[in-house]
Amino acid sequence: MINLLKKVQVVALALAAAAAFAFNMPNNQEQYAINPNTGDWIPLSGLVEGRDYQCNQSGNCAYDAPNGNVVKSGTFVLMD
């Protein structure tokens, strides 16, 4: 009985560790937007929101990959 209890504890610990890693993914992934002037996909790394671009009003602003999922809403506008 004690041997079984120790195995259950090990399995529970392994499941808890797996769940902790599964639900704590870093949010430093690359983001992309469609350049309104050319229609091409551009990476947003190196650009600062509020200085280099804005996400105004409604629409789709930033994506997790070209033709990917929307990660930020708003209309993408490049600033001069």
pLDDT tens-digit map of 47-61: 999 999 999 988 899
Q: How many domains does the chain have?
A: 1
Lowest mean pLDDT among 8-12, 56-60, 62-66, 73-77: 8-12
Q: Tell me the pLDDT band of 41, cut-offs 50, 70 and 90.
A: very high
Instruction: Judge contact between 59 and 75, C-beta under 8 A.
Output: yes
Range of the domain at 11: 2-78
**Closest C-alpha among 54, 55, 50, 51 to residue 73:** 55
At 22, is the secondary structure helix, strand, or coil?
helix
pTM score: 0.61
